[in-house]
């Protein structure tokens, strides 16, 4: 099975009470912490069900968006790279994550350029390449620095452009297996996934494009029945997880964990 979808470890962080101050592109109301905690617990339980070791970190009240750990690092088999988030309020989250990665990896590097900005939500790792979306949160300098860091590990980085108005490239896509990408039509129409098999989510269910394939499970946000049926019909083992509260902060399934197999 593919190293890009099979993992031995995951890192998550429990939502903090300060989550109500989290960043959002459009204000659709404050998240309900109790409901978010319930959804988060179901998410962690699903990851553990696959046999993976899940490290659940404590809340960080000083960082309202810290539940979205994916943005803090890129985790590859050879090592981890600590990101440099573009939002000033999130820079401290990456620093908080670094020692947790150092406990599991022999090599942990970091994006350090003062003009470099890059977030994990813009990075889609496949078997053949690392796709990185240029977005409001990830710039050319950040992508170039990442490419230099991972080249000695044998990884090739390819830049793609995130559609206007979309926070991260993975807001609109996810990897289902070594050859298949779930995507919105607004992203796949750009041609950025040429050579892959593409499953487009139905119109009106764009938020379902952000799923995660974690070992034998595909975790997807609840409430998108046409996408669920598409994935069922394609032979995937689907688990629906409540995401109503994270969605108020532009968050999805991939945002809530770092997924990896350290060498």
The mean per-residue pLDDT over the stretch 66-89 comes to 95
25 pLDDT band, cuts 50/70/90, is: low
pLDDT at 254 exceeding the cut of 60 = yes
Average pLDDT value for residue range 39-66: 97
Asked if pLDDT for residue 1 goes beyond 70, the answer is no
Active-site amino acid positions: 168, 255
* pLDDT at site 21: 82
**Is the predicted pLDDT of residue 203 greater than 90, yes or no?**
yes
Q: Which residue has the higher pLDDT, 47 or 164?
A: 47
Q: What is the pLDDT of residues 116-149, one digit of tens each?
A: 999 999 999 999 999 999 999 999 999 999 999 9
pTM of the model: 0.96
Evaluate if residue 223 carries a pLDDT over 80: yes
Interval 231-260 mean pLDDT: 97
Task: For residue range 148-164, list pLDDT tens digits in order.
Answer: 999 999 999 999 988 88
Specify the pLDDT at position 178: 95
pLDDT at 74 over 90: yes
Report the percent of the chain where pLDDT is more than 90: 89
DSSP string, the chain: --TTT--SEEEEEPPPGGGGG---SS------HHHHHHHHHHHHHHHHHTT-EEEEEPP-TT-TTTT-GGGGEEE-SS-EEE-B-SSGGGHHHHHHHHHHHHTT-S-EEE---TT--B-GGGEEE-SS-EEEEE-SS--HHHHHHHHHHHGGGT--EEEEEPPTT-S-GGGSEEEEETTEEEE-HHHHTTTTTTTSEEEEPPTT-GGGG--EEETTEEEEESS-HHHHHHHHHTT-EEEEE--HHHHTTT--TGGG-EEE---
At residue 22, the pLDDT reads 72
pLDDT in tens, 171-194: 999 999 999 999 999 999 999 999
| Average confidence score pLDDT of the chain | 95
């Amino acid at each position: 099975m593919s190293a890009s979808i099979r993992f031995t470890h995951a890192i998550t962080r429990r939502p903090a009470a300060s989550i109500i101050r989290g960043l959002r592109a459009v204000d659709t109301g404050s998240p309900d912490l109790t409901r978010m905690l319930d959804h988060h617990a179901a998410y962690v339980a699903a990851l553990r069900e696959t046999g993976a070791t899940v490290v659940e970190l404590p809340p960080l009240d000083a960082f309202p968006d810290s539940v979205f750990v994916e943005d803090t690092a890129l985790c590859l088999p050879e090592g981890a790279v600590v990101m440099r988030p573009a939002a000033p309020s999130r820079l401290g989250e990456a620093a908080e994550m670094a020692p947790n990665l150092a406990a599991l990896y022999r090599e942990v590097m970091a994006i350090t350029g003062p003009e470099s900005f890059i977030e994990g939500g813009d990075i889609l790792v496949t078997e053949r390449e690392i796709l990185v979306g240029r977005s409001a949160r990830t710039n050319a300098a950040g992508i170039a620095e990442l490419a230099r860091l991972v080249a000695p590990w044998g990884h090739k980085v390819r830049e793609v452009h995130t559609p206007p108005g979309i926070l991260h490239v993975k807001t609109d896509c996810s990897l289902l297996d070594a050859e298949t990408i779930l995507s919105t039509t607004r992203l796949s129409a750009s041609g950025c996934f040429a050579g892959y098999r593409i499953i487009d989510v139905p119109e009106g269910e764009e938020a379902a494009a952000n799923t995660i394939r974690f070992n034998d499970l595909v975790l997807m946000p609840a409430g998108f029945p046409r996408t669920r049926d598409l994935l069922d019909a394609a032979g995937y083992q689907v688990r629906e997880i409540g995401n109503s509260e994270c969605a108020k902060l532009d968050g999805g399934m991939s945002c809530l964990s770092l997924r990896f197999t350290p060498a």
